[in-house]
Amino acid sequence: MPLLVKRLDHFGVDVRDLARAERFYTEILGMTVAMRLPDQVLLRYGDGNCALFWKPDREPGGLEQIANPLGKSHHAFEVSHEDLQRALALFREREIPHHAPIDWGDHDCLYFLDPDGNLLELVGYRSGG
């Protein structure tokens, strides 16, 4: 009999600069710091957690990831549809690399890169969808 996975407890992201990554994930994505260790920062959001792991030799991801983001490994966060629209303006203002929103019928998604080139996605469902 297979195990019964309850939910995703946390996911990890490799970053070259912990302080820069912490600022991005807290100031842009609204996460809060739960714990700081010399080589990692644990962040909280909604009912999940994100661990930033210091990897000074990490090669940053490139812009090719957002040229055609579909089918590429990424982490996706659900936000309100209104926040998805706000994110688009914020990404333009802060010059955060991103792909144009993609319409899936009942929701839109917005792919973007963190400062280390990790591919992320915001998903905003339309009301009644």
Digit-coded pLDDT (tens) for 63-92: 888 988 988 999 999 999 999 999 999 999
Q: What percent of the chain has pLDDT over 70?
A: 98
Q: Do the Cβ atoms of 123 and 83 come closer than 8 Å? A: no
Top CATH class, 59-129 = alpha beta
Q: What is the distance between the alpha carbons of residues 59 and 49, in angstroms, rounded to a whole number? A: 24
Top CATH class, 1-57 = alpha beta
Domain with CATH 3.10.180.10 in the chain: 1-57, 59-129
Q: Do the Cβ atoms of 107 and 129 come closer than 8 Å? A: yes
pLDDT, the chain, mean = 93
Place of tokens 């996975």: 5
CA proximity to 11, closest of 19, 96, 31? 31
